[in-house]
């Protein structure tokens, strides 16, 4: 019964967030046809505002478990979303083995997880080093990476576009290559930047 009630709550919350995004931000969704529906996926997007995680959750066409910093549990709204959508919390001050095992188990079971390689909001603009977590999970699990680009304004009533690219398959990469995580991370970020229309230089 508990699982059934969570499913009901998930549908209600997803519908409410979707309506908010459509009405307040006039969200445009592109590339949903690229999303496989029958295999584990690692969703990776650029991170600009607090809207990004729920926006991906309600447009991903799959049940997505987001990785999030444990500090978000202090916010009642995000703590609630974490319960409803089976969030995976990470302690960023240490190597969180429990979170890593949870993600790998979820992918092994055919589930989908989502994370932001930037590690923080506007990490690309800040010039921070991109995290290689997505690359690590892709190599360890064999799951494909679904690049996501979010663009548009960041104000309350600004229009936002979310784009889903083609899934990235890294199964042919040499696991013995010591630079493989950096190579995969770079390819993931290049795809995200193109989808988000982020220009550098």
The answer to whether the CB of 9 falls within 8 A of the CB of 30 is no
- Which ranges in the chain belong to alpha helices (H)? 2-24, 52-59, 76-84, 97-108, 123-126, 133-141, 180-196
Instruction: Give the pTM.
Output: 0.91
> Measured between alpha carbons, how far apart are the two ends of the chain, in Å?
54
Give pLDDT < 70 ranges for the chain. 1, 93-94, 122-127, 199-201
CA distance 133 to 185: 8
Edge to edge, what strands does the sheet with 88-90 contain?
28-30, 160-164, 144-152, 41-45, 112-115, 64-69, 88-90
Nearest to 146 by CA among 25, 59, 49, 60: 60
Residues 6+ apart with CB under 8 A from 52: 45, 46, 116, 150
pLDDT at 201: 40
pLDDT tens profile 160-186: 999 999 999 999 998 878 899 999 999
Nearest to 84 by CA among 63, 102, 101: 63
The two structure tokens encoding residue 95: 């190597």
pLDDT tens profile 26-41: 999 999 999 999 999 9
């Amino acid at each position: 019964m508990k699982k059934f009630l969570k499913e009901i709550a998930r549908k209600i919350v997803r519908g409410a967030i979707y309506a908010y995004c459509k009405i307040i931000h006039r969200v445009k969704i592109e590339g949903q046809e690229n999303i496989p529906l029958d295999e584990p996926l690692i969703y990776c997007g650029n991170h600009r505002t607090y809207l990004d995680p729920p926006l991906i959750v309600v447009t991903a066409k799959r049940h997505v478990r987001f990785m999030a910093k444990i500090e978000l549990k202090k916010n009642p709204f995000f703590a609630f979303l974490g319960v409803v959508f089976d969030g995976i919390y990470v302690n960023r001050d240490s190597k969180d083995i429990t979170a890593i095992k949870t993600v790998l188990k979820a992918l092994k079971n055919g589930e989908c997880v989502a994370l932001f390689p930037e590690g923080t909001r506007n990490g690309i603009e800040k010039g921070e080093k991109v995290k290689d977590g997505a690359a690590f999970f892709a190599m360890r699990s064999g799951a494909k990476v679904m690049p996501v680009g979010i663009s548009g304004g960041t104000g309350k009533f600004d229009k936002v576009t979310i784009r889903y690219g083609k899934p990235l398959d890294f199964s042919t990469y040499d696991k013995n290559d010591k630079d493989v995580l950096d190579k995969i991370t770079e390819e993931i970020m290049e795809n995200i930047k193109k989808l988000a229309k982020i220009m550098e230089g």
